[in-house]
Amino acid sequence: MRVCEIFLSLQGEGLDAGLPTVFVRLSGCNLRCSYCDTQYAFYEGEEMGEEEIIDRICRLGCKRVCITGGEPLLQDISSLSKKLRAKGIWTKLETNGSLPLTGDFDVVDMDIKTPSSGESGKMKLSNIKSLGKKDELKFVISDREDYDYSKRVIKEFEPECNIIFQPAYGALKPEKLAEWMLEDRLEARLGIQLHKLLWGERRGA
């Protein structure tokens, strides 16, 4: 398995924001979003076996893991996810919404790409129906077009999961997105990238 980095930080996004979490960032991505903040994960990384990955996680002393990327579902992570959960490690998947969902996770966080990303046409929107009440559906919003697109997706697919609208860092002020959401009485959460408020765009945070 090709791994870009493994590190301990606070979860910056989603319902578990603020909780200490080990991040396993896998290498490679099938998309090239305009606002991507982890482009180094496209190519960097080293080959690691599952047991080596699990040992590195355990040595960091945290029972919460987020498997992210890049796009982690480009690699077969089914066995790794099962082994982590068997050890009592709470495991979350962050995926870009373009590939079929596989693996055994406590929570799936799926990021539906909006028009400003340049990759909205590659989404596998049928994945939304696979998300349960504990899962998370995230939309990164750069402008009003992204916001209106996201509302249309919600209306069409009626997701049962938690819905999060997150302003694209540096592109849209959180207060503007909050204003739109309140005007529409939108049944969604406003998400802020906590790690960027704390540490900026520093790698490994």
The tens digit of pLDDT for each residue in 131-151 reads: 999 999 999 999 999 999 999
Q: If pLDDT is split at 50, 70 and 90, which confidence band does 27 have?
A: very high
Tens digits of per-residue pLDDT, 1-24?
A: 999 999 999 999 999 999 999 999
Q: Is residue 204 part of a domain?
A: no
Residue 205 belongs to a domain: no
Provide the domain count of the chain.
1
Residues 6 or more apart from 46 whose CB is under 8 A from it?
A: 2, 3
Q: Model's pTM, two decimal places?
A: 0.92
Range of the domain at 67: 2-199
**Residue 46 is part of a domain; what is its CATH number?**
3.20.20.70
Distance of CA 51 to CAs 48, 92, 119, 185, Å? 8, 18, 34, 47
Instruction: Tell me phi and psi for residue 95, to 5 degrees.
Output: -135, 155
